[in-house]
Structure 1
Amino acid sequence: MNFRSLYLLVFVSLSSIYYSQKIDSLKHNSFVLTGGAEYGKVLATNIHLKILENKNYVGYSFQFLKQATGKKECERLYNFPQYGIGFFAFDFLENKQMGSPLAVYGIYNAKIKQWGKLKWYHTIGFGVSFNSNPFNNDTQYYNTSVGSKTNMFISLGTGLYYELGRYFDIGFTLKFNHLSNGSLKIPNKGLNTVAPQLSIVYYPERINPKLSDTIPIIHKKYNTVEFSVFGGKKDSFYRGDKRDDLKLYEGYDYSIYGAEAFYMRQYSPKSAYGLGVGVTMDEQYNHTMYVSDSTLYQKKRFSNNQPLVSIIPTYRLMMNRLYINIGAGYYVFKKGRKYDSPAFFQRIGLQYQITDRFFAAFGINAYDMHIANYLEWKLGYTFHKKERK
């Protein structure tokens, strides 16, 4: 598939639609089109990537964004961000065996500073990618970076943009991209890339939001008590004795489920912090794998399943009804064994307030600051919400 042709066709087609309209019809048009290309390297984060002679790649992106105008209080609070949907295509050049991942993701751009026509932005993208070429022992494709065709896509960037007249900006951004399936399928050491990106931004109508001269709104702050239940799955492979008798990544799928309670204290219109306690039932923790007669088996580790009790300090970034939760926790009574993940873990997740009380969340539980343990899906309820005086 020729991603260069696809990218140019989409960008030119949409641009021509906007140009064909009269200026009057574009009045109050707050949409923004962005196209970009990047050339960089795949980071050699595992042994199979280190042996690649050429780690270069090319990436193409297209984004359809909405420019915040300040009509909502949260838009003014976050300095009039841009948000929307993006598409990204990887071309691994001399390493076609890695596939041609195509990502679809939500994008959030926020302006940090502006000096006349020069602007400094940071950008965050989160979505899903398709068409990776995963590890396959039968076909002797041994890249352990990804174990599945479908993966999460995370993109981070920061860079400078310069206004070229009424309709266009040109941007130069440093980008980091990450592909991972959250250990739903092993191996999953992650695929990371870094590159400079050159982009063109098209404004059908450039909107320069201005701060309101009205009396600023006094934001209410709350203390909340939240309860939630969660579940997830992970793939785990055998790492003990007689491993040579098996395929390299032979193992079992395990379920994880549990419940948590959090006390959160809001200290600004944007942020809150708090402490949580959780109880987790992890099937992997409660089972042991062993090899007999070149066959892999599993058995119960304890006579009764043992829950994992955790303490989880958490920081929360609040954007209207969407929250970003970042925390680090510790399983206080976990009984360690060889090849187990450590008792200290990290997590990051998105939480959306469906109503004032009910919420849903999705996140990643990881360890060693970079290894995904499992993906967790959560439903919760806010039992107590008290306004701070």
Structure 2
Amino acid sequence: MKFLYVILFLFCVGIVSAQKDSAQIKKHNFMTYSSLQFMYQNGHVFATNDFLRGANIEAEKINAYQAFALKLATQTTGEKLWQQIFNYPYWGAGIYTADFYNPEEIGNPIAIYGFFNGPFHRWENLTFNYEIGFGATFNWKSFNPVTNQYNVAIGAGESFLLDAGMNLEYYLTDKIALNAGFSLTHFSNGGMKKPNFGLNTIAPRVSVKYDLHERPEFIHREVPDFTPNSEWLISFYGGAKNVVFDNVDINIMEKYEGVFFPEIGFSLGYNRRISYKSKIGAGMSFSYDGSIATQVAVNNNELEAVDGPFTDKLMISIYPTYELVANRLSLVLLPSFYLYRKHIDNLTPVFHQKVGLKYYLTDKIFAGITLRAYKFHVSDFVEWNIGYRFYRK
């Protein structure tokens, strides 16, 4: 599992550094216009499960936290057309730690993540920005049925971090900038280990940024008129879902190891690129959920899955799509609806949400990672994707 999070981090940070633009010659490396930034935030934890509402050792609500981060970033200059189109963003990697004022049951998580800060608007020394981040988090004191039985928020020692917010950044001097804003943060292991109700926070944040080099002159050029175009996509995904069976008579540690079930499927989609930044479209997914209609038997104090009918596990879903495109990298939003699945008790809601990252390895082959959730805060499982697109330039 730790290996998967290392791959995620390399995917999140490395793919951005691999951005290519055949029409431009790269003149600067990451450190040419780099900066260091120290961030602090203190805010609210949403009470989305019993553990946070007070079912814990202290019998108190867990509704506050603080966090610190140290970030290394590089400022784009417009050498590549996408940088000018995105109003000269900066991006990089950071180390993050959070304190939920309950180290005995939650621990002090540490994250390594990539981030992208893009301006909505620029003035001479002031920018109004959005920022998104994605990475891997470690050092949780996760659920344990014997020693930490109340923490149903985090079921594993590792998790994903999703972060999104807005901020204002003002340069006090040629090299020092003050940044103030807020962000929403979601922590979850993506359903790879239950229980996993997750942690969701909102908090104001302040940062001090120091440029290690002189601020660059931005390159301006005439942007060619955009011509809308279309593409068809086919993609395949795989993942795993952990299910805990509470009603079996077995050693408690073995019980809460649960059983892992395969999640596989493929999608067909159509996108229309409507601007340099955006694609909209629709698609349909055909999937197999190995956890549906499954029971377990106990054999030598170990759980063994007893499969139900194959057809009971098949599902069809439809979705509209939106992609925010930055060269080869896309942030993908897919609000989805199950169109077909067999009616069985305790199914997840028909409306579910998917958010992910997609990166084009070549002009036609892409890979990605997608988090599937429901009720906007409960993770179902993680999809690891590979796909191909058909299009005309």
Alignment partner, residue 23 of structure 1: none
TM-superposed deviation, 1:322: 0.4
Amino acid in structure 2 at the alignment position of 1:231 = G
Aligned-residue Cα RMSD (Å) equals 2.6
**Structure 1 portions without partners, runs of 5+:** 1-27
2-structure distance, mates of 1:279, 1:135: 33
Shift of 1:281: 1.1
Bigger mean CA deviation after superposition, 246-255 or 122-131: 246-255
Counterparts of 1:94 and 1:306 in 2: how far apart (Å)? 40
In structure 1, what residue type is equivalent to 2:372?
A: N
Task: Give the TM-score of the pair, scaled to structure 2.
Answer: 0.83
Q: Which residue does 2:380 correspond to in 1?
A: 373
Equivalences for 1:21-36 in 2 at 5 Å? 29-36=32-39
AA at the equivalent of 2:42: Y
Distance 1:356 1:53, change over 3 A: closer
Alignment partner, residue 335 of structure 1:
342
Residue 317 of structure 1, aligned match among 309, 313, 324:
324
Q: Residues 305 and 94 from structure 1, CA distance in 2 versus in 1: closer, same or farther, beyond 3 angstroms?
A: closer
Matched residue, 1:48: 51
SS at match of 1:87: strand
User: Counterparts of 2:249 and 2:207 in 1: how far apart (Å)?
Assistant: 49
Partners of 2:313 and 2:177 lie apart in 1 by: 57
Cα distance in 2 for partners of 1:306, 1:197 equals 44
Rg (Cα) greater in structure: 1
Q: Distance in 1 between matches of 2:123 and 2:53?
A: 42
Q: 1:163 to 1:259 in 2, by over 3 A?
A: same
* Alignment match, 2:112: 104
Give the SS at the match of 1:264.
Answer: strand
Residues 114 and 30 of structure 1: CA distance in aligned 2, closer, same or farther (over 3 Å): same
Q: How does 1:261-272 map to 2 (within 5 A)?
A: 261-272=268-279
Once the two structures are aligned, what percentage of the paired residues are identical?
29
Give the whole-Å Cα distance in 2 for the aligned partners of 1:267 and 1:303.
40
Q: What's the secondary structure of 2:82's corresponding residue?
A: helix
Contact 2:38 2:208 in 1 (8 A): yes
- Kept in 1: contact 2:313–2:341 (CA 8 A): no
Paired positions, count: 355
CA 1:48–1:349: 2 relative to 1, 3 Å: same
What TM-score does the superposition give when structure 1 sets the normalisation length? Answer: 0.84
Q: Is the 8 A contact 1:286 1:302 kept in 2?
A: yes
Match of 1:386 in 2: 392
- Counterpart position of 1:142: 150
Counterpart AA for 2:128: W
User: Is the CA contact (8 Å cut-off) linking 1:348 and 1:365 kept in structure 2?
Assistant: yes
Is the 1:61–1:87 Cα contact (8 Å) retained in structure 2?
Answer: yes
Q: Note if 1:359 corresponds to 2:362.
A: no
Partner of residue 21, structure 2: none
Q: Say if 1:126 and 1:355 are closer, same or farther in 2 by CA, change over 3 A.
A: same
1:385 is matched by which residue type in structure 2?
A: Y
Task: Return the offset for 1:254.
Answer: 0.7
CA distance in structure 1 between the aligned counterparts of 2:70 and 2:93, rounded to whole angstroms: 9
